[in-house]
Amino acid sequence: MTEFLIVFAISYVIHAMGITIGYHRLLSHRSFCCPKWVEYFWVFMGYLAFEGSPIWWATIHRAHHRHVDTPLDPHSPRESLYNAHFGWLTAKTYAPHVNPAIQSKDLVSDPLYRFLEQDGVFWRAHTMGFAVALGFRALLWAFFGWQVALASLLAGLAVLQIPLMLNVVCHIPKLGYKNFRSEDDSVNVWWVGLLAMGEGWHNNHHVFPGSARSGIKPLEFDFSWHVIRLMRKLGWAYRVNDPSEAQLRAKMLASGINTSGRKSKALASIPERPVLSAGTMAQSTRMQRPTSAAGKR
């Protein structure tokens, strides 16, 4: 039983970071750069968690930011809780306003990702993803026994629930809180932040979508960010986007939101700025390539 729990825990963390670091912060938002082998490692860890084609995943997520909480959002709870959680997975083709050839040119140019995309035929791409993920567990069974294979499988299925759960929970305002005012419904939810390796600080993420860091306040623990910081120290990540303290204070001041209800002296020293809507901020930072200056604190 102990071996089973250890394998489950390790598998859960690695596959979860495959989604948060690989699919989300790297592919979808290009919040940092890394050698190709590092990119493929994290993406493959996410792929083994039944996440499907990286092009499909990133394109849908970019569309979510572009049209957040509007009728064009692929999975907004405003339209349907069922669709936000699971219904969007049943789509058979890309919606007319979602086109990977336009919105994900950087990924379409990669031959491996093109192969996993299977020419945009969803059922083929999803079938391949499940086959590879199950085949991986079959190999674990052959080499390490059924207990290891089962623990890995259950961890992958548990991790699969992370983005599905987050799409709903972190877009229902009464379930969380905001550090920043925005026109969308994104909120920070602490327990999602823990289960999702830092992805639960969703209001922060929608205000700074191009940031490699989602947890901003001291208690907003962001495990994925600490792994990215470690990779940067090891030389495995570079040009890491990380908002400066001045940028964070300015946004909080503009939003008029802080824990004390009053502006601190530090915030008062920052000049007032107009509040950008979530859509505007997402458009301005969503697809920015990281710069060397952005990675320095």
Residue-level pLDDT at 256: 57
Contact 174, 30 (CB under 8 A): no
- Residue-wise pLDDT tens digits, 128-154: 999 999 999 999 999 999 999 999 999
Task: With a cut of 50, say whether residue 275 has pLDDT above it.
Answer: no
Q: Give the C-alpha distances (Å, rounded to integers) separating 243 from 110, 142, 163, 237, 271.
A: 29, 46, 24, 17, 17
- Residue-wise pLDDT tens digits, 29-73: 999 999 999 999 999 999 999 999 999 999 999 999 999 999 999
Domain residue limits, the chain: 2-295
% of the chain beyond a pLDDT of 90? 75
- From the list 19, 1, 3, the residue with the least C-alpha distance to 158 is 19
The Cα–Cα gap between 254 and 267 comes to 10
The Cα–Cα gap between 29 and 229 comes to 17
The Cα–Cα gap between 54 and 56 comes to 5
- Residue-wise pLDDT tens digits, 156-195: 999 999 889 999 999 999 999 999 888 899 999 999 999 9
The angle, 0 to 180 degrees and rounded to 10, between the axes of the packed helices 2-17 and 146-169 is 40
- Residue-wise pLDDT tens digits, 2-20: 889 999 999 999 999 999 9
Which is higher by pLDDT, 272 or 158? 158
Neighbours of 271 (CB within 10 A): 8
Contact 23, 100 (CB under 8 A): no
Which is higher by pLDDT, 4 or 263? 4
Q: Give the C-alpha distances (Å, rounded to integers) separating 137 from 70, 144, 215.
A: 39, 10, 33
Half-sphere exposure for 100 (CA within 13 Å, toward CB): 26
